[in-house]
């Protein structure tokens, strides 16, 4: 039987058209066709006075079907449907619940009125996909809520809760009994003969205020094409007649949707959703219920992880070994909550109240999930897992936050390795969204499913990875750090390397990031592996540990402790290191720096894929976008590689390996094979 997409029922003289395209009522061709036919039938039915549009399932509609972008349009397109609704001789009222986004909101805006459920959230998130609302959003929203508010809504992509939408004029009513209220309003409109259309309104608000807000947006830093287009389209709403503005918006939409930036951002959207899908996990795998957590270690990582649980309303026991460490940890958590200035005191109190500090590890017994976040020392971790095996309740998930140690060796300390895995958070753990979930050889599907569900609940983007030194992110970072060290030795200075990285789109360059993270951490990791790095070692030998002591690859002033300032002392250290190794320094171009930072890392990514440490190339992209600041509009390293062409990268690596004698730069076999076949990583996933 073919899928229905909509079903219609009646409430008296009102036809209720229900959108039925799970899971999010994306407005694909079938649903568009279904709505258009149901509307036509209602118009032709003499017994119908008015129409209500409502979504079945969890939301009204999450917008256009993103999978259709870039493919030939099938009629009716969204714009046609929207015109048909607006032109209906019978009033149409949208009854909105859940997330009403993008084209879904634009559909609602073409209706003659809108009623929202209390849980409704309205937004135009297109900017996050590198496009602009292309079905009238930039023209209708300013007419309803004013150009300045529309600018904020459209360029942030943020969602507006129902009550705020009512207050600003985006919806007419907020109601408990959604369909009833919408039907009543629809009937009242029919009785009054009134067919209000947003297109007939003019844009309220002060032009000057809008211009200032627009200039502030386009005047700072890198402005992506989508942001500029949003501003231009809203200007058109103010300046042009409605139909001209609409045509202009659509022109901009067509340009953006075929841009590399938008393709990359759409890639990241789907990559994020695929990253937690486990190829061999049976569909009926159930996550275990988690209503309490314990975190062992109140240092920077443990504190951030604890905050993530408290933020999500999950009670968490924070375990330390000394009063002083526990107090320091709690003080830092409190200071972090206060720092943003955005969390009301009552909310801070509530979150702090969810944290139970203790010096007694036996208290981990009550937790459904225990996360160990102590020093990166195998022996300490093994000891803790031995204890947890004795203490933790049966079935509890036992996770280590190690960033490179062998999860299998840790789980072997327990008699329940199926319950053990890695949950690798990124610093600051209360802010960074990436969560590498490290699957050990004995980790059960239920344990994996639980970690994924918990990760999502605490606002993270989980990605499944396998066990190896550094897992995915840090292993590739290792390749980039090695390249950075070599660049410094051959002639580049820290600010030149960082400038190249920021020109590529990173918010921060690798050396500024190292200073932020603390150079002593890298030093310890190198020592543990017996690795030497002439420049990095000389910098830490000189007592330069990064921002924490005001000097690292840069120096930092009291006036702004976070602003890196190039330091002649560092240049001296670097030049001496080059001299000691007999390397003649030279000027290195920005283009070369970018290649040398990115391509070895991509090669490492290819090896990671080959070894099955990452399930898909797009998982690697998610890791770099959410954990390491890779610009989403460049889609992640593997997507970028596909865009550059794998042959270009393979040839570059082969040449570098030949010139430098560094075997790690030899192209990975999978990269070589795909390049020879003229294919990209995406085709191999």
Contact between 62 and ligand CAA per CB under 6 A:
yes
Tokens at residue 657, please?
A: 């390996």
Contact between 23 and ligand CAA per CB under 6 A:
yes
Stretch of 97-105, 472-480, 596-604, 656-664 contacting ligand CAA, by CB under 6 A: 97-105
Contacts of 454 (CB under 8 A, 6+ apart): 287, 290, 293, 369, 397
> How many other CB atoms are found less than 10 A from the CB of residue 338?
11
Contact between 187 and ligand CAA per CB under 6 A:
no
Contacts of 579 (CB under 8 A, 6+ apart): none
Contact between 396 and ligand CAA per CB under 6 A:
no
**In this structure, what are the phi and psi dihedrals at residue 324, rounded to the nearest 5 degrees?**
-60, -45
Member of 17, 42, 101, 179 binding ligand CAA (CB under 6 A): 101
Q: What is the separation, in whole angstroms, between the first and last Cα of the chain? A: 32
For residues 135 and 106, the answer to whether their CB atoms sit within 8 Å is yes
Contact between 64 and ligand CAA per CB under 6 A:
yes
Render 227-256 in DSSP notation, one character per residue. Answer: HHHHHHHHHHHHHS-HHHHHHHHHHHHHHH
For residues 650 and 499, the answer to whether their CB atoms sit within 8 Å is no
Member of 19, 35, 53, 78 binding ligand CAA (CB under 6 A): 78
Q: Which is nearer to ligand CAA, 110 or 414 (CB)?
A: 110
Catalytic status, residue 126? yes
> How many other CB atoms are found less than 10 A from the CB of residue 545?
19
Contact between 21 and ligand CAA per CB under 6 A:
no
Q: Minimum distance from CB of 123 to ligand CAA (Å)?
A: 8
Catalytic status, residue 106? yes
**In this structure, what are the phi and psi dihedrals at residue 674, rounded to the nearest 5 degrees?**
-65, -40
DSSP H or E run through 323: helix 323-339
Contact between 26 and ligand CAA per CB under 6 A:
yes
Q: Which is nearer to ligand CAA, 24 or 301 (CB)?
A: 24
Contact between 316 and ligand CAA per CB under 6 A:
no
Member of 6, 14, 16, 24 binding ligand CAA (CB under 6 A): 24
Contact between 642 and ligand CAA per CB under 6 A:
no
Strands 99-101 and 121-123, by their bridges, are parallel
Contact between 63 and ligand CAA per CB under 6 A:
yes
Contact between 125 and ligand CAA per CB under 6 A:
yes
- The C-alpha atoms of residue 268 and residue 461 are separated, in whole angstroms, by 12
For residues 685 and 650, the answer to whether their CB atoms sit within 8 Å is no
Q: Minimum distance from CB of 76 to ligand CAA (Å)?
A: 13
Contact between 135 and ligand CAA per CB under 6 A:
yes
* One character per residue 242-281, x = contact with ligand CAA (rule: CB under 6 A): ----------------------------x--x--------
Stretch of 128-136, 303-311, 401-409, 542-550 contacting ligand CAA, by CB under 6 A: 128-136
Contact between 130 and ligand CAA per CB under 6 A:
no
Q: Minimum distance from CB of 437 to ligand CAA (Å)?
A: 17
Render 55-96 in DSSP notation, one character per residue. Answer: E-TT-SB--B-GGGTTS---SSPHHHHHHHHHT-SS-EEEEE
Contact between 604 and ligand CAA per CB under 6 A:
no
Member of 31, 81, 86, 106 binding ligand CAA (CB under 6 A): 106
Contact between 65 and ligand CAA per CB under 6 A:
yes
Q: Minimum distance from CB of 620 to ligand CAA (Å)?
A: 18
Q: Which runs of E-coded beta strand occur in 69-218? A: 92-96, 99-101, 113-117, 121-123, 159-161, 173-175
- The C-alpha atoms of residue 644 and residue 549 are separated, in whole angstroms, by 40
Active site residues: 106, 126
* Residues in contact with ligand CAA by the rule CB under 6 A: 23-24, 26, 62-67, 78, 99, 101-103, 106, 125-126, 129, 133-135, 137, 270, 273
């Amino acid at each position: 039987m073919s899928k229905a997409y909509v079903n219609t029922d009646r409430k008296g003289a009102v036809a209720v058209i229900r959108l039925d395209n799970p899971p999010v009522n994306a407005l694909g061709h079938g649903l568009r066709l279904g709505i258009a036919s149901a509307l036509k039938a209602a118009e032709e039915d003499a017994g119908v006075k008015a129409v209500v549009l409502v979504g079945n399932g969890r939301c009204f509609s999450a917008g256009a079907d993103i999978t259709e972008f870039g493919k030939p349009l099938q009629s009716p397109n969204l714009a046609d449907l929207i015109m048909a609704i607006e032109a209906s001789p019978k009033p149409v009222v949208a009854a909105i619940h859940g997330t009403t986004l993008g084209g879904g909101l634009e559909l609602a805006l073409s209706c003659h009125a809108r009623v929202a459920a209390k849980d409704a959230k309205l937004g135009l998130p297109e900017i996050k996909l590198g496009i602009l609302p292309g079905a009238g959003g930039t023209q209708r929203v300013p007419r309803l809520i004013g150009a300045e508010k529309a600018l904020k809504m459209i360029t942030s992509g943020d969602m507006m809760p129902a009550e705020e939408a009512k207050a600003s004029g985006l919806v007419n009513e907020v109601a408990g009994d959604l369909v009833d209220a919408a039907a009543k309003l629809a009937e009242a409109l029919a009785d009054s003969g009134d067919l209000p259309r947003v297109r007939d309104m003019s844009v309220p608000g002060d032009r000057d205020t809008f211009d200032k807000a627009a200039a502030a947006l386009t005047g700072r830093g890198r402005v992506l094409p989508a942001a500029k287009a949003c501003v231009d389209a809203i200007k058109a709403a103010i300046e042009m007649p409605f139909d001209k503005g609409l045509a202009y918006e659509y022109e901009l939409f067509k340009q953006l949707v075929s841009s590399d930036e938008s393709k990359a951002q759409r890639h990241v959207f789907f990559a994020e959703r695929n990253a937690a899908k486990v190829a061999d996990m049976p569909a009926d795998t159930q996550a275990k219920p988690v209503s309490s957590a314990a975190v062992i270690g109140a240092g920077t990582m443990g504190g951030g992880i604890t905050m993530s649980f408290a933020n999500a309303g999950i009670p968490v026991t924070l375990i330390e070994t000394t009063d002083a460490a526990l107090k320091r940890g709690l003080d830092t958590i409190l200071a972090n909550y206060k720092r943003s200035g955005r969390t009301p005191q009552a909310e801070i109190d509530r979150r702090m109240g969810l944290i139970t500090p203790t010096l007694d590890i036996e208290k981990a017994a009550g937790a459904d999930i225990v996360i160990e976040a102590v020093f990166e020392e195998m022996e300490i971790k093994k000891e803790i897992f031995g204890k947890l095996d004795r203490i933790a309740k049966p079935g509890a998930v036992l996770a280590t936050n190690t960033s490179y140690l062998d999860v299998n060796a840790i789980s072997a300390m327990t008699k329940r390795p199926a319950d053990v895995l890695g949950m690798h958070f990124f610093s600051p753990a209360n802010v960074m969204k990436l969560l590498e979930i490290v699957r050990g050889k004995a980790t059960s599907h239920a344990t994996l499913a639980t970690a994924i569900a918990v990760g999502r609940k605490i606002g993270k983007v989980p990605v499944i990875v396998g066990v190896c030194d550094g897992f995915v992110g840090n292993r590739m970072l290792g390749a980039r750090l090695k390249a950075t060290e070599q660049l410094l030795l051959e002639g580049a200075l820290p600010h030149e390397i960082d400038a190249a990285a920021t020109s590529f789109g990173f918010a921060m360059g690798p050396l500024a990031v190292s200073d932020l993270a603390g150079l002593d951490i890298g030093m310890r990791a190198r020592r543990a592996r017996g690795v030497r790095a002439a420049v990095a070692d000389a910098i830490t030998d000189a007592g330069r540990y990064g921002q924490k002591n005001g000097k690292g690859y840069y120096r930092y002033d009291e006036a702004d402790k976070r602003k890196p300032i190039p330091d002649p002392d560092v240049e001296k250290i670097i030049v001496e290191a080059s001299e000691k190794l007999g390397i003649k320094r030279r000027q290195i171009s920005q283009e070369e720096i970018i290649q040398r930072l990115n391509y070895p890392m991509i090669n490492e990514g290819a090896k990671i894929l080959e070894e099955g440490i990452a399930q898909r190339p797009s998982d690697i992209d998610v890791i770099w976008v959410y954990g390491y600041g890779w610009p989403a509009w460049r889609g992640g390293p593997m997507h970028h590689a596909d865009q550059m062409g794998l042959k270009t990268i393979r040839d570059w690596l082969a040449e570098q390996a030949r010139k430098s004698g560094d075997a790690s730069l030899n192209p990975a076999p999978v990269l070589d094979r795909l390049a020879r076949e003229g294919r990209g990583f995406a085709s191999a996933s």
